[in-house]
């Protein structure tokens, strides 16, 4: 019965996609009709896939702020209302009831796993948690102070060298193992790179540990003593991973889709996603927020001076962790993380002056016309660093934590492309603004 209801709903959905509404475009006196696509949540788009063929024109949209690159069934965001859902389930429900591993399965395969499916997925994560032993030599090659995002991206690709069956047409069975292997190993690579940066012995994963607990074990245990796993700490980090798991066509996810569209393997897609995420305007913002708060603390500013500087464009300063291309309201993830900050610090009997500064900055910004007019609110990165500091994650690892969390989202988006029989290579056009045709000038004639 449920399957029939789902099929009927799917049919309605597809009908909505094919609604025969059109948009009219007039160019040089000629009117062209372009199909309108309506998504299951009422989002509307003008399908321009035949525009160049019919009109000779292309569109131009710097930063793709107005351009939909694909039809996707994974994540829905309503930026005006501050809504985020993974496969239709609100992020608030998942944050309250689920775990990162269960959400990873949901995002990749489309449904919450039953007991049998969850056990199989967890077992695959355990079976694939170790790196090939020869990977140790790669770690030796990095300088001790190499940024862990550089190590992460290169080691994901290095790991792929040990699995020769990566190529070939999409095979669900092979995909299932590869997906689990990358999600599991990204955690191991991250922990190993942290240990190497401090000259500490590598701590291997323990098969009896669950995903997030194992990461903390590999990061902070010693050969002579186990890291004491506090449930609140494990749960707080698991929540950070869960909240970062996907976010529709953000910069790094769009990057992984580009790579998947050329039919490169899943490891190559994941390694590219890490590189895109590294930027301070994207995943690097969580590190930049803490650096900003530390600087404010050190100057003795209560935050008001910094806010004044941010509003003066000449300063070039931004309120890191604020603003978003899609959210023009409070990022729902930021709300959840902010609550968890207070809870965790209370449980750990700790205070963090940076949290107090962050809260003061938030209050000031939310009541300041500069931010209100530009609809700038806290995003996922504004408070996440406070939790990571409380857990003892070093600043340089903050974006690595984001990458571990986002891995299921990247993999799910790549799967959407790999599964689609009619997917095409991503190849945007451009408008050329360079020199018009001119002759080659021999060097002796050049001034
Ligand atoms: C993530 O896409 C995703 O989904 C990303 C992400 C995910 O889960 O994958 O949510 C994760 O990347 C969150 C964003 C993390 N980055 C930051 O916190 C860096 C600080 N934020 C800004 O750099 C900025 O808000 C962006 C990059 C997030 C969004 O940039 P946009 O959409 O290109 O916005 P914009 O630069 O056009 O800004 C519009 C106006 C400008 O002022 P005016 O020219 O209109 O006068 O708002 C101003 C901007 O100067 N502005 C800010 C600001 N962000 C925008 N002013 C001060 N501080 C800021 N943070």
Q: What is the Å distance from ligand 1's center to 49 Cα?
A: 29
**DSSP SS3 for 42:** coil
Ligand 1 site, residue 384, Cβ cutoff 6 A: no
Q: What's the whole-model pTM score?
A: 0.94
Which pLDDT score is estimated for 353? 95
The pLDDT tens digits of the residues spanning 171-228 come to 998 999 999 999 999 999 999 999 999 999 999 999 999 999 999 999 999 999 999 9
Which pLDDT score is estimated for 52? 97
**Closest atom of ligand 1 to CA, residue 318:** 58
* C-alpha separations of 248 from 220, 244, 357, 406, 408 in Å: 33, 11, 31, 11, 12
427 CB-contact burial (10 Å; exposed 0-12 / middle 13-18 / buried 19+): exposed
Query: What does the pLDDT average to over 247-262?
Result: 98
Which pLDDT score is estimated for 445? 97
Residue nearest to atom 43 of ligand 1 (CA): 374
- Residue 49: Cβ within 10 Å count: 9
Q: What is the Å distance from ligand 1's center to 71 Cα?
A: 24
Instruction: Report angle CA 190, 192, 197 to the nearest 5 degrees.
Output: 95
Q: What is the Å distance from ligand 1's center to 322 Cα?
A: 7
The pLDDT tens digits of the residues spanning 340-368 come to 999 999 999 999 999 999 999 999 999 99
Residue nearest to atom 8 of ligand 1 (CA): 247
Residue nearest to atom 5 of ligand 1 (CA): 250
- Residue among 238, 244, 324, 352 flagged as catalytic: 324
Length of the chain: 447
Higher pLDDT, 166 or 147: 147
Which pLDDT score is estimated for 446? 97
Whether 247 is catalytic: no
Q: What is the Å distance from ligand 1's center to 279 Cα?
A: 12
The pLDDT tens digits of the residues spanning 147-165 come to 999 999 999 999 999 998 8
Query: Does residue 85 register a pLDDT over 60?
Result: yes
Which pLDDT score is estimated for 441? 97
- Facing residues of 383 across strands? none
- Residue 286: Cβ within 10 Å count: 28
Query: Does residue 421 register a pLDDT over 60?
Result: yes
Ligand 1 site, residue 96, Cβ cutoff 6 A: no
Average pLDDT, the chain: 94
Ligand 1 pocket test, pick from 324, 358, 382, 410 with the greatest ligand atom count within 8 Å of Cβ, gives 324
Distance CA 35, CA 52 (A): 14
Query: Does residue 9 register a pLDDT over 80?
Result: no
Which pLDDT score is estimated for 174? 94
Structure tokens at 285: 């913002």
Query: Does residue 8 register a pLDDT over 90?
Result: no
The pLDDT tens digits of the residues spanning 26-52 come to 999 999 999 999 999 999 999 999 999
Question: What proportion of the chain, given as a percentage, has pLDDT over 90?
Answer: 93
Whether 147 is catalytic: no
Distance CA 27, CA 122 (A): 56
Which pLDDT score is estimated for 10? 55
Q: What is the Å distance from ligand 1's center to 295 Cα?
A: 20
Which pLDDT score is estimated for 166? 83
Which pLDDT score is estimated for 12? 53
* C-alpha separations of 183 from 13, 323, 412 in Å: 31, 29, 11
**DSSP SS3 for 78:** strand
CB 411 within 8 A of CB 108: yes
Distance CA 391, CA 337 (A): 14
Ligand 1 site, residue 372, Cβ cutoff 6 A: no
* Cβ-proximal residues to 348 (8 Å cutoff; 6+ apart), any chain: 230, 232, 233, 390
Ligand 1 site, residue 413, Cβ cutoff 6 A: no
């Amino acid at each position: 019965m449920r399957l029939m209801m789902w099929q009927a709903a799917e049919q309605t959905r597809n009908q909505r996609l094919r609604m025969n509404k059109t948009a009219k475009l007039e160019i040089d006196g000629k009117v062209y009709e372009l199909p309108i696509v309506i998504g299951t949540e009422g989002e509307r788009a003008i399908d321009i896939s035949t525009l160049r063929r019919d009109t000779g024109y292309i569109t131009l949209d710097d930063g793709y702020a107005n351009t939909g690159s694909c039809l996707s069934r994974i994540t829905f965001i309503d930026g005006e209302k501050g809504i985020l859902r993974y496969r239709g389930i609100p992020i608030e429900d998942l944050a309250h009831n689920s775990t990162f591993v269960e959400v990873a399965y949901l995002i990749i395969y489309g449904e919450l796993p039953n007991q049998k499916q969850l056990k199989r997925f967890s077992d695959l994560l355990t079976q694939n948690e170790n790196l090939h032993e020869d990977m140790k030599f790669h770690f030796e090659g990095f300088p001790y102070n190499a940024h862990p995002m550089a190590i992460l991206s290169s080691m994901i690709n290095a790991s792929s060298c040990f699995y020769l069956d990566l190529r070939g047409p999409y095979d669900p069975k092979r995909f299932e193992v590869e997906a689990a292997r990358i999600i599991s190993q990204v955690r191991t690579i991250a922990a190993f790179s942290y240990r190497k940066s401090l000259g500490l012995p590598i701590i291997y994963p323990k098969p009896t540990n669950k995903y997030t607990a194992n990461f903390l074990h590999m990061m902070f245990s010693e050969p002579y003593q186990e890291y004491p796993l506090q449930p609140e700490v494990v749960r707080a980090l698991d929540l950070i991973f869960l909240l970062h798991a996907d976010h529709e066509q953000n910069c790094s996810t769009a990057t992984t889709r580009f790579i998947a569209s050329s039919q490169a393997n899943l490891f190559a897609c994941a390694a590219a996603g890490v590189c895109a995420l590294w930027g301070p305007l994207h995943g690097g913002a969580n590190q930049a927020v803490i650096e900003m708060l530390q600087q404010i603390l050190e100057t003795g500013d209560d935050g008001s001076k910094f806010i004044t500087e941010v509003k003066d464009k000449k300063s070039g300063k931004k309120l890191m962790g604020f603003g978003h291309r899609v959210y023009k309201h409070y990022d729902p993830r930021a709300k959840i993380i902010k609550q968890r900050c207070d809870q965790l610090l209370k449980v750990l009997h700790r205070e963090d002056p940076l949290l107090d500064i962050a809260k003061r900055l938030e209050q000031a910004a939310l009541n300041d016309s500069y931010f209100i007019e530009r609809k700038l609110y806290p995003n996922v990165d504004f408070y996440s660093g406070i939790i990571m500091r409380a857990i003892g994650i070093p600043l340089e690892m903050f974006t690595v934590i984001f990458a571990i969390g986002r891995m299921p989202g990247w993999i799910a988006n790549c799967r959407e492309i790999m599964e689609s029989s009619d997917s095409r290579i991503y190849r945007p056009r451009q408008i050329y603004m360079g020199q018009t045709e001119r002759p080659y000038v021999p060097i002796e004639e050049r001034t």
